[in-house]
Amino acid sequence: MHKEAAIREPLILGHKTYHDITQDVCKPIEDKAPRMWYILFAIALIIGLYGVGSIMYLLGTGIGTWGLNKTIGWAWDITNFVWWVGIGHAGTLISAVLLLFRQKWRMAINRSAEAMTIFAVFMAGLFPLIHMGRLWLAYWVLPLPNQFGSLWVNFNSPLLWDVFAISTYLSVSVVFWYIGLIPDFATLRDRVKRPIPKRMYSILSFGWSGRAKQWNRFELVSLVLAGVATPLVFSVHSIVSFDFATSVIPGWHTTIFPPYFVAGAVFSGFAMVQTLMLVMRKAMRLEAYIHTRHVEYMNIVIMVTGSIVGTAYITELFISWYSGVEYEAYAFINRATGPYWWAYWAMMTCNVISPQLMWIRPLRRSMIFTFIISIVVNIGMWFERYVIIVTSIHRDYLPSSWSMHYPSHIDLGVYVGTIGLFFVFFLLFARFFPVLPIAELKTILKSSGESYKNAPDTHHGHDDHSETENNNNH
């Protein structure tokens, strides 16, 4: 099936062959790492280690080192948790949902987006774990028999739902990602010459041979995993939203939270993908595979999800008035005009206004502009969580207990540290793993490759021949 309308832009630029694809993706792994990689890795590692240090100090000293205050029993850590989980939504969305929608452009980004997802969920998982205080007892969240404590874990609690949701999401994402990686590891295994990497990739590729039956299973497994991962993506952030929405706190309890959190997660996840992809395509010379069209597609997703988020903000705002519940109304007035007004308006500007600029075609096709917006969006989405969480609880029903949340330097250290760790993981991934799905890209070369698409006349011979064969079959 090599049918694609002429009106569609090619997804693989230049006159690539199957071998070129292998070559282009494997080259950066086989070559020596550029100096820039070491510099970036060192920076990320230092920041990451600072974070690890902060966590150590926190675990040794206690949660009192955080800036929590009176009614604000939950602020910085949960904000970061939700932020990272949200970022971790793009990968599986790209590889699962876009696979179901047969969006071929996903193939340029799904591998690294999924890697990003996995690392982001790692970072997210860290926050509830360290919030437990006694990290080594983290297994108590599992439903273990009673001698480990007096009770079973509470299955009525959204926090426990989170345990199940996040661990399912993480492990299924890893499996999904790895199943796609196996054929590409096999490609590397059959290419590299040096013995140690050859041995490594040989183990990693699980003895993949590319038999017809293996591919048959591979395609079905990808499809079924996509099928189960799609509702999973929706469920995970819905469950994260339940953490807040099941409560009775004005500003937290609202029914629109589940779908709105999902949209927000996809929004921030795609922004993070953009940030990483734009750097990666340059650094690893993958401009032929990740180009303007891909960036434009992602920007459209950002624009759409940003608009959904914006609609949800306005819906909440309107209903808080319409409901006639004065506490509800106050929660929103306080957000916009209270002491955290700057966070609220930062969120509004970054999340509602900035993606609307993507309506302008030259802007959404501009790499620099996209890069800036992708960072703006992630800042905005961080503020969104901060606004939702902190502004809703810093002034509760008793004015005597009204207070403010100021992050301590440990708060900052842990947060910045996770960003460092995230980049450590991502840089390692980019160095040793195939960052594009080699096998999958080859399947779209003939339908979406520039040389096949735009110049069918120059490609007489077998290609044309197969085209007519195909037509006869239908």
| Region 411-440 residues binding other proteins, contact defined as CB under 8 A | 438-440
Read off the tokens for 307.
């608009």
Nearest to 404 by CA among 76, 59, 55: 76
407 touches other proteins by CB under 8 A: no
Q: Which of residues 116-145 bind other proteins (CB under 8 A)?
A: 143
Q: Which of residues 87-106 bind other proteins (CB under 8 A)?
A: 100, 102
| Residue (60 or 324) nearer to other proteins, CB | 324
Question: Please, what is the angle between helix 438-448 and helix 18-30, to 10°?
Answer: 140
292 touches other proteins by CB under 8 A: no
Residue 43: CB minimum distance to other proteins, A: 33
CB 299 within 8 A of CB 370: yes
Q: Which of 186, 276, 381, 390 binds other proteins (CB under 8 A)?
A: 186
Cβ count within 10 A of residue 216: 10
| Residue (18 or 38) nearer to other proteins, CB | 18
Distance, in Å, from the CA atom of 108 to the CA atom of 438, rounded to the nearest integer, reads 9
Q: Which of 14, 366, 443, 450 binds other proteins (CB under 8 A)?
A: 443
| Residue (5 or 398) nearer to other proteins, CB | 5
Q: Which of 117, 307, 334, 374 binds other proteins (CB under 8 A)?
A: 307
| Residue (385 or 405) nearer to other proteins, CB | 385
Residues 6+ apart with CB under 8 A from 278: 295, 367, 370, 371, 374
CB 351 within 8 A of CB 380: yes
The secondary structure element, H or E, covering residue 247 is none
With contacts defined by CB under 8 A, name the span among 48-56, 69-77, 196-204, 338-346 that binds other proteins: 196-204
202 touches other proteins by CB under 8 A: yes
| Residue (164 or 402) nearer to other proteins, CB | 164
Read off the tokens for 217.
């299973």
Q: Which of residues 7-26 bind other proteins (CB under 8 A)?
A: 7-8, 17-19, 22
Q: Which of residues 212-271 bind other proteins (CB under 8 A)?
A: 212-221, 224-225, 228-229, 231-232, 234-235, 238-239, 242, 245-248, 253-259
| Residue (22 or 378) nearer to other proteins, CB | 22
451 touches other proteins by CB under 8 A: no
- CA 347 to chain centroid, in Å, comes to 19
Output the DSSP codes for 383-396: HHHHIIIIIHHSS-
| 157 DSSP assignment | -
Cβ count within 10 A of residue 195: 8
Q: Which of 37, 45, 190, 403 binds other proteins (CB under 8 A)?
A: 190
Number of residues that bind other proteins (CB under 8 A): 108
Read off the tokens for 408.
């301590």
With contacts defined by CB under 8 A, name the span among 184-192, 365-373, 388-396, 428-436 that binds other proteins: 184-192
| Residue (147 or 255) nearer to other proteins, CB | 255
Question: Please, what is the angle between helix 257-283 and helix 292-322, to 10°?
Answer: 160
Distance, in Å, from the CA atom of 62 to the CA atom of 56, rounded to the nearest integer, reads 10
Residues 6+ apart with CB under 8 A from 78: 127, 131, 243, 385, 389
- DSSP bridge pairs for 72: 69
| Residue (62 or 73) nearer to other proteins, CB | 73
Sign of CA dihedral 199, 200, 201, 202: positive
383 touches other proteins by CB under 8 A: no
Residue 220: CB minimum distance to other proteins, A: 5
Read off the tokens for 374.
């992708």
Q: Which of 56, 325, 360, 455 binds other proteins (CB under 8 A)?
A: 325
337 touches other proteins by CB under 8 A: no
Token pair 């996770």: residue: 418
64 touches other proteins by CB under 8 A: no
315 touches other proteins by CB under 8 A: yes
376 touches other proteins by CB under 8 A: no
